[in-house]
Amino acid sequence: MLAARVRHRSTEVAGVRVFYREAGPDDSPLTLVLLHGFPGSSQMFRHVIEPLADLGVRVVAPDMPGFGLSSLPEPRGPYTFAWIADVVEEWLSGLGVTDKILYLHDYGSAVGYQLATRSPSTVRGLVVQNGNAHEEGLGKQWDASRDYWSDPTEENRRRIEPWLHYEGTKHQYLWALPERLAELVPPETWELDWRAISRGDGLDAHWELFTDYRTHVARFPEIARYHREAEPPTLIVWGVHDPYYDLDEVLAYHRVLPTAESHLLDAGHYLLETHSREFVSHARPFIARLIEQQGRS
227 is catalytic: no
Long-range own/partner contacts, residues 119-124 (CB < 8 A, 24 or more apart): 120/226, 120/229, 120/230, 120/232, 121/230, 122/98, 123/230, 123/232, 124/30, 124/99, 124/100, 124/232, 124/233, 124/290, 124/293, 124/294
Query: What whole-number distance in Å separates Cα of residue 48 and Cα of residue 53?
Result: 9
Specify which residues 297 forms β-bridges with. none
Catalytic residue among 216, 269, 275, 282: 269
Query: What whole-number distance in Å separates Cα of residue 210 and Cα of residue 142?
Result: 12
Residue 161: count of CB within 10 angstroms of its CB = 13
Please say whether the beta carbons of 82 and 215 come within 8 A.
Answer: yes
Long-range own/partner contacts, residues 42-48 (CB < 8 A, 24 or more apart): 42/68, 43/68, 43/189, 43/192, 44/105, 44/189, 44/270, 44/272, 44/273, 45/21, 45/272, 46/6, 46/21, 47/272, 47/276, 47/277, 48/272, 48/276, 48/279, 48/280, 48/283
Q: Which residues are catalytic?
A: 269
